[in-house]
Amino acid sequence: MKYGYFDDAALEYVITTPKTPLPWINYLGNKEFFSLISNTCGGYTFYKDAKLLRLTRYRYNNVPYDNNGKYFFIKDGDTVWNPGWQPVKTALDSYECRHGLGYSTFTASKKDIQTRVLTFVPMEDNCEVSKVTITNNRSTDAEIQLFSYVEWCLWNADDDMKNFQRNLSTGEVEVTGGGSVIYHKTEYRERRNHYAIYGVNTAVDGFDTSRDAFLGAYNGPDSPDAVAAGACTNSIASGWSPIAAHQINVKLAAGESKTFIFTLGYIENPEDQKWEAPSVVNKKPAEAMLAKYQDEASVDKALEELKAYWKDLLSIYHVKSSNEKVDRMVNIWNQYQCMVTFNMSRSASYYESGIGRGMGFRDSCQDLLGFVHLIPDRARQRIIDIASTQFQDGSAYHQYQPLTKKGNSDIGSGFNDDPLWLIAGTSAYIRETGDLSILEEMVPFDNDMSVAKTLMGHLKCSFDFTATHKGPHGLPLIGRADWNDCLNLNCFSEHPGESFQTFGPSEGPVAESVFIAGMFVKYGEEYAQLCDLTGDHAEAERARAEVKKVYDAATTAGWDGEWFVRAYDANSNKVGSKECEEGQIYIEPQGFCVLAGIGVKEGLAEKALKSVEERLDTKYGVMILQPAYTKYHLELGEVSSYPPGYKENAGIFCHNNPWVSIAETVLGHGDRAFEIYKKTCPAYVEEISEIHCTEPYVYSQMVAGRDAKFHGQGKNSWLTGTAAWTFVNVSQYILGVYPTHNGLSINPCIPEGFGDFEITRKYRGATYNISVKQNGAQKGISKLIVNGKDIDLSGAKADVVSGGALIPYEEGVTEYKVEAIMG
């Protein structure tokens, strides 16, 4: 069952009922000012950091779902309704929400009064603009009232939920223009130099800034007293809970429309210009911001700028195939989600509260793989920021706070996959841009510039960390955990409340990870390539010798007969082996070792993937492990703490599905690679939205596995490494346009009957118009013609694993017409 449809021409998903199984959301904002907005206008707004600079309040664990937001109310006689249905939930005569790229619109009507709300964050300003158009479709005049409502958060969203003995006394506001502009200035008198505003471009008939005055102390936003009474009280908040609400009485002749523009903004003043008079905030910058969005034309222009920005970004990789679902995911939604994960990491979604983790080291490095082609300059800065939280021995803070960019010492380091992801991100950046100068940048360790090294020096530390932290089988030590945060082999937690992530020693001398072995083979080779590029062939040779050792360990101690072992625990017992009672096979080493090329020539790779298909496959995706743990295993940790079928305990953890799909392309299995791609692909599961529950336009972190009661149900949508890895999979491996250090290589791996397709790829200042003829094959290019010239393919091996056909780069040529014939 569907709750809407894709409008590909408009680059929008159209939701046709407010009663979606879960809030279906969108992200507004591209740089520093962000909002989450659901299909019922729920959500919240922040500047830079969802924890420390939160503008509007959101209640977690709320009932019903998603019941605080930035709301508009229409009072029409005795009827009160909202353009997004919530919070009053009056049945609407019509409803439509369109989530676009960085904007959302809500069109609703009740008794022939229609509202259209357009909400977005302009490219150049720290504000959210809402254009509200009300139309009277009756044959008679109408007199209605429009109310706005936002509830301020007292900036630190964490403290805001807890520290009431203080917070109920600190709230302060100012009001100008008879109530048109409301200033939220809590803590501005002391250490803050910023405030928030909520203004409307018209005179108002009333306002409120005290929540109790507007709602009534025992009411929620679903039944505000002021709206019921048809009159705000012009309250000035003092402590308690400051809000901003406007009242506008609207007269509309038959057929007439009126438009109002609301601006919710964030303003910072220099320390010496905070005040215009004692206790009166300096409003000049706020007035300038409001002045920019006074009329419809300027709002429309700002929206056009936003749309043009996205159009430009999406022209960098564009496919035209005979498969509508692939085209819409590749060209629109998958790339959009990659950009959102760049902005948010795992910090602010409906499931990540925005008060917990900041940026994850491994998460952000992997996200980069999905957005580096879109915004290479920002990717460059991100790499430097991440590397600055590394320690001198190559290990790294697991997380850092986006506002301060400092490593988070609550969680510390000890996740032994982290260092290698830095190589992955840097290599992807250089393959995309050719910008080797990044390797020369001086980058601090733990933000201490006195011990800086070049970025290349950091990569060496990453590489050496793994090379020098190995266990009894010559496999890399796992530390606190590797990519699977819940495989806590050194933790041994016996008491509830202990954090699996930080309890126990950060390092044990025995527990080893076959997954990190796979990473080391893959990214060790990418490190060696960077050494070669910078002329350090001795280091490249040393690196390849280290990689060879780990390769050999993975194919011996890491091999279980039919698949790769997952790990060795602190007692040197196998994890993910047929010897185990539960958790006999795990997905991660099968996907990652094979995509790294391990066991391909020995025939182990074929076996491993066959085992995955036999033991882990379901119609909704490939499970992370089987059989699920039914008991808590002290020696394994959190993985066995989840009920069977959820999360890391046998859930379909979508992030690693593309690894297996990529692995299948390495072996040339186009049918199987695509089948795996389809199973978790949002556009394909749209039809079963009542089962899947999360948004049909983005990936979720997890889909419940076969052992779970709600098999097929998605959870934790939006902020997941699945976005980046799936984009890498479909764009570079399935459609097969792979950026190498020497240029683009072509090596598609597609299912039978997929048909011919075309790709436009902008890359290093040139545009490549690539047409691929399937010619009955699933993999391999037999003929390549570039700008009319037949290319000799015999020497053109792009990289060890993909072995694609390289498009020769020619200095000064900015248009490449590429014809690739498979076979």
Active site residues: 485
Instruction: Tell me if 647 contacts ligand GLC by CB under 6 A.
Output: yes
Task: Provide the 3-class DSSP secondary structure of residue 111.
Answer: coil
Helices (H), 96-208: 157-160, 164-167
Q: How many helices (H) and strands (E) does the chain have?
A: 21, 44
From the list 177-185, 480-488, 560-568, 728-736, the region that binds ligand GLC by CB under 6 A is 480-488
Rounded to a whole number of angstroms, the minimum distance from the CB of residue 363 to ligand GLC is 5
Contact 187, 170 (CB under 8 A): yes
- Strands (E) in 529-688, as ranges, are 567-568, 574-575, 585-586, 617-618, 621-622, 625-626, 652-653
User: Which range touches ligand GLC (CB under 6 A), out of 134-142, 219-227, 434-442, 479-487?
Assistant: 479-487
| Shortest Å, Cβ 797 to ligand GLC | 32
Contact 482, 461 (CB under 8 A): no
Q: Write the binding mask 75 to 114 for ligand GLC: x where contact by CB under 6 A, - elsewhere.
A: ----------------------------------------
C-beta of 586: minimal distance to ligand GLC in Å? 12
CA atoms within 13 A on the CB side of 498: 16
Instruction: Fill in the DSSP letter of residue 688.
Output: G
Q: Which neighbouring-strand residues pair with 263?
A: 129, 199
C-alpha pair distances (Å), 185 with each of 125, 173, 190, 638 = 19, 5, 10, 43
Q: Is residue 174 close enough to count as binding ligand GLC by CB under 6 A?
A: no
Residue among 183 and 725 whose Cβ is closer to ligand GLC: 725
Instruction: Single out the segment in contact with ligand GLC by CB under 6 A; choices: 49-57, 482-490, 747-755, 769-777.
Output: 482-490
Q: Which stretch binds ligand GLC (CB under 6 A): 110-118, 250-258, 467-475, 483-491?
A: 483-491
Q: Which of 46, 188, 483, 559 binds ligand GLC (CB under 6 A)?
A: 483
C-beta of 391: minimal distance to ligand GLC in Å?
19
Q: Are 743 and 807 in contact (CB under 8 A)?
A: yes
SS3 274: coil
| E strands present in 234-285 | 242-252, 257-268, 275-277, 280-281
Report the residue from 367, 648, 686, 695 that binds ligand GLC according to the rule CB under 6 A.
Answer: 648
Length of the chain counted residue by residue: 823
Interaction between residue 160 and ligand GLC (CB under 6 A): no
Distance (Å, rounded) from C-alpha 24 to C-alpha 557?
Answer: 46
Between the alpha carbon of residue 186 and those of residues 44, 153, 282, 362, 443, the distances in Å are: 18, 9, 14, 36, 37
> What are φ and ψ of residue 411, in 5° steps?
-100, -25
Residues 346-365 touching ligand GLC, rule: CB under 6 A, are: 346, 360, 362-363
Instruction: Give the nearest distance from C-beta 647 to ligand GLC in angstroms.
Output: 5
Give the footprint of ligand GLC on residues 714-773 (CB under 6 A): 720
- Site residues for ligand GLC, 232-271, by CB under 6 A, read none
* 306, two tokens: 């936003």
β-pairing, 206-210 vs 585-586, is: unpaired
**How big is the chain by its Cα radius of gyration, in Å?**
28
Q: How far apart are CA 324 and CA 747, in angstroms?
A: 21
Q: How far is the CB of 655 from ligand GLC (least distance, A)?
A: 6
Residue 207 or residue 653: which is nearer to ligand GLC going by CB? 653
Q: Is 172 in the site for ligand GLC (CB under 6 A)?
A: no
What's the closest the beta carbon of residue 516 comes to ligand GLC, in angstroms?
12
CA gap 723, 398 in Å, rounded: 20
Which H or E element spans position 789? strand 789-790
658 or 743: CB nearest ligand GLC: 658
Minimum distance from residue 779 beta carbon to ligand GLC (Å): 29
Helix (H) or strand (E) holding 334: helix 334-344
Closest to ligand GLC by CB, 101 or 650: 650
Q: Which is nearer to ligand GLC, 366 or 626 (CB)?
A: 366
Helices (H), 620-754: 657-666, 670-680, 682-685, 689-692, 722-728
d(CA 604, CA 564): 8
Q: Check residue 373 for interaction with ligand GLC (CB under 6 A).
A: no
Check residue 440 and report its DSSP letter: G
Nearest to ligand GLC of 185, 346 (CB atom): 346
Question: Which single residue brings its beta carbon nearest to ligand GLC?
Answer: 485
Residue among 527 and 725 whose Cβ is closer to ligand GLC: 725
Query: DSSP assignment, residue 590?
Result: H
Q: Is 223 helix (H, G, I), strand (E, B) or coil?
A: coil
**Helix pair angle (334-344, 361-371), 10° resolution:** 140
Q: Residue from 160, 418, 485, 569 that binds ligand GLC (CB under 6 A)?
A: 485
# of chain residues touching ligand GLC (CB under 6 A): 14
Which is closer to ligand GLC, CB of 657 or CB of 720?
A: 720
486 binds ligand GLC (CB under 6 A): yes
Question: Which residue in the set 114, 167, 701, 713 belongs to the binding site for ligand GLC (CB under 6 A)?
Answer: 701
Q: CB of residue 411 vs ligand GLC: minimum separation in angstroms?
A: 8
> Per-residue x/- marks for ligand GLC, 307-346, CB under 6 A?
---------------------------------------x
Measured from the CB atom, is 213 or 519 closer to ligand GLC?
519
Applying the rule CB under 6 A, the residues between 621 and 640 that interact with ligand GLC are: 638
Window 487-506: residues binding ligand GLC (CB under 6 A): 501
List contacts with ligand GLC (CB under 6 A): 346, 360, 362-363, 483-486, 501, 638, 647-648, 701, 720
